[in-house]
Structure 1
Amino acid sequence: MNTNQIDGAASTRSARSLTTIRPSRRALLTGGAATAVGLALAACGSGNNGPSTGGTAAGGDTVTVVTYDSFDLPDELITAFKDDTGYTLEIARSGDGGEVANKLILTKDAPLGDAVFGINNTMASRILAEGVIDTTTALNLPDGAADYLAPYIVDDTPALVPIDFGEVCVNVDTFWLSDRGLEIPTVFEDLTDPVYKDMFVAINPTTSSTGMAFLLATIGHFGEDGFAQYWKDLVANGTKIDEGWSDAYYTDFTAGGGDGAYPIVVSYSSSPAATLNDDGIPTTAAMSRTATRQVEYAGVLAGAANPDGAAAFVAWMLSRQVQEAIPDAMYMYPVDPDAALADDLADFGATAEDPIVVDSADIADHQQEWLTTWAEAVGQ
């Protein structure tokens, strides 16, 4: 796994101002599988509306959370965590998401902290297979959490707890295209049409989580046998490939605030909500049929010095006040469907009804070969 696969999401968090919706949810698991996961989640412990107290538990009164550099929550919430649980949070920022995952695997016999936040679904199966997550410590999750968490559980292991999600998809500068009499593209295949030659900027999946998510979307759509040809066709049609989301969106995208020349870009479903003009109308739109979902997880680290405190942290991340703070602080959607978000995002940043899904186990098994195939297809 590449060690730089979070910069897109991190850049989005640090650069955009989002506002509150109740985004649409889609059950990614159905029937018996979801029921089984729900029962397992319930067994983790539920019945309170927030984390349990007990700062004098084994491991002392400090909880060390290993996370990515862009982790951010309001200071008043951090203070409230100590007031509610008796534990003091110590945030150990450890690079981007890929670096965090690799460091946790390399140090699993001498863990860097008590809990982790920020593992996403492209890394989750590997993290679980490597034994990084403690699957024995009870988690006292909020009432009702089992139901809304079940669709996002990886490998039937509820100890790795879903916290938030985002959707990577193609965005278009609708005003730029309309001014030139061009139709707005809606599907992957449109981007290889000569009408849109030299208009699309994508992102390198070996250096960006945003780029990796879009690569997975093309694999999910075209299949393992077809995605390489699609990328060859994109390059032949003048697609530019940047190293990270910031360069693609803020430098090369025509609606990114700079002097960009590309009116089509890989970004997020929430991005249009941040492009409102003076009339309150977004100048960009998301191509929802290209969307794929990124889910971020938290868990207790195996061998943690303070597993009880780590469990309190995980439960706290699902508390209503934290879930409602996540969109403004880290620019992701909360997994709790009842957590309030903001009006602009409600109107212009709705999530896809049917996002593309690639199984996390398949990602763990095939990610490196997919990246090799991609590099060969685009000539890198």
Structure 2
Amino acid sequence: NNTTDAFDWWKAMAENGAIFTSGWTEAYEIHYSGGYGEWVEGHLGDAALTVSYCHSPGVEAFYSGNWTKSTSLTLERSTFHQVEYAGVINGATETSAANAFIAYLLSEEVNRNMPENNLMKSVLVNATWPETDGYAYHTDAPTLNAEISNERIADEMEAWISDWKTATEL
């Protein structure tokens, strides 16, 4: 909602013992107590929650024979679409090969395997999560994402990062 300042919320999280890491792998494999990290050397398991992808529990189940102790919490407007891009660079000399590669990336062949091999949802319309080994069952896909315009992101990103770093430093 609009009554809570996001940076005040992050500051409160930091003051309450939240662990901030340099990236997803460190957070999920080393600190998160609910994921596959417990089988990774150096696992601490000192965090009961982690910020991850909505389908992380589904991936956990898929690779563990439909078993996971992870679950996800989906709150309206608490998620933001992550978009990964592939494109052809202006001035490229091999545009036909580049376009063929883009077409391949958009193919049914690549996209039907995307959730299991790249651990991301297919970009194809009406794509679904695999039903195999609990992948779909344990995946909670959000229905109402936060929406922020590209212009606002461009205008405010540096300030947001700075404010977040300030809020999470103790």
Number of the residue aligned with 2:5:
226
Aligned-pair CA distance for 1:341: 4.0
Within a 5 Å distance, the mapping from 1:128-143 to structure 2 comes to none
- Asked whether 1:249 is paired with 2:28, we answer yes
Greater radius of gyration (CA): 1
- 2:33 and 2:45 in contact (8 A); partners too: yes
TM-score (norm 2): 0.81
Of residues 91, 98, 105 in structure 2, which corresponds to 1:310? 98
Of residues 357, 360, 368 in structure 1, which corresponds to 2:147? 357
Number of the residue aligned with 1:217:
none
Number of the residue aligned with 1:260:
45
In structure 2, relative to structure 1, the CA distance for the partners of 1:335 and 1:255 (3 Å cut) is same
- Asked whether 1:282 is paired with 2:61, we answer no
Number of the residue aligned with 1:370:
160
- 1:320 and 1:339 in contact (8 A); partners too: no
Aligned-pair CA distance for 1:358: 2.1
Aligned-pair CA distance for 1:286: 0.8
Whole-Å separation in 2 of the counterparts to 1:304 and 1:319: 22
Aligned sequence identity (%): 26
The amino acid of 2:15's aligned partner reads A
- Asked whether 1:322 is paired with 2:110, we answer yes
TM-score (norm 1): 0.39
**Alignment coverage as a number of residue pairs:** 159
What secondary structure does 1:333 align onto?
coil
Aligned-pair CA distance for 1:226: 1.5
Whole-Å separation in 1 of the counterparts to 2:65 and 2:106: 36
Whole-Å separation in 1 of the counterparts to 2:66 and 2:161: 40
- Asked whether 1:347 is paired with 2:137, we answer yes
What secondary structure does 2:20 align onto?
strand
Of residues 309, 313, 333 in structure 1, which corresponds to 2:121? 333
* Deviation per residue, 1:97-131 (Å, 9 max, x gap): xxxxxxxxxxxxxxxxxxxxxxxxxxxxxxxxxxx
Aligned-pair CA distance for 1:309: 2.0
Within a 5 Å distance, the mapping from 1:143-182 to structure 2 comes to none
* Deviation per residue, 1:299-319 (Å, 9 max, x gap): 211010112222222122111
Whole-Å separation in 1 of the counterparts to 2:60 and 2:47: 16
In structure 2, relative to structure 1, the CA distance for the partners of 1:319 and 1:275 (3 Å cut) is closer
Whole-Å separation in 1 of the counterparts to 2:138 and 2:120: 15
In structure 2, relative to structure 1, the CA distance for the partners of 1:373 and 1:259 (3 Å cut) is closer
- 1:327 and 1:333 in contact (8 A); partners too: yes
- Asked whether 1:238 is paired with 2:14, we answer no
Give the unaligned 5+ runs of structure 1: 1-220
Whole-Å separation in 1 of the counterparts to 2:65 and 2:96: 51
Whole-Å separation in 1 of the counterparts to 2:52 and 2:2: 20
* Deviation per residue, 1:46-98 (Å, 9 max, x gap): xxxxxxxxxxxxxxxxxxxxxxxxxxxxxxxxxxxxxxxxxxxxxxxxxxxxx
What secondary structure does 2:45 align onto?
coil
- 1:324 and 1:341 in contact (8 A); partners too: no
- 2:60 and 2:70 in contact (8 A); partners too: yes
What RMSD, in angstroms, separates the aligned Cα atoms of the two structures? 2.4
Whole-Å separation in 2 of the counterparts to 1:305 and 1:280: 47
Number of the residue aligned with 2:87:
299
Number of the residue aligned with 1:125:
none
Between stretches 271-280 and 243-252, larger displacement belongs to 271-280
What secondary structure does 1:347 align onto?
coil
In structure 2, relative to structure 1, the CA distance for the partners of 1:222 and 1:285 (3 Å cut) is farther
The amino acid of 2:51's aligned partner reads V
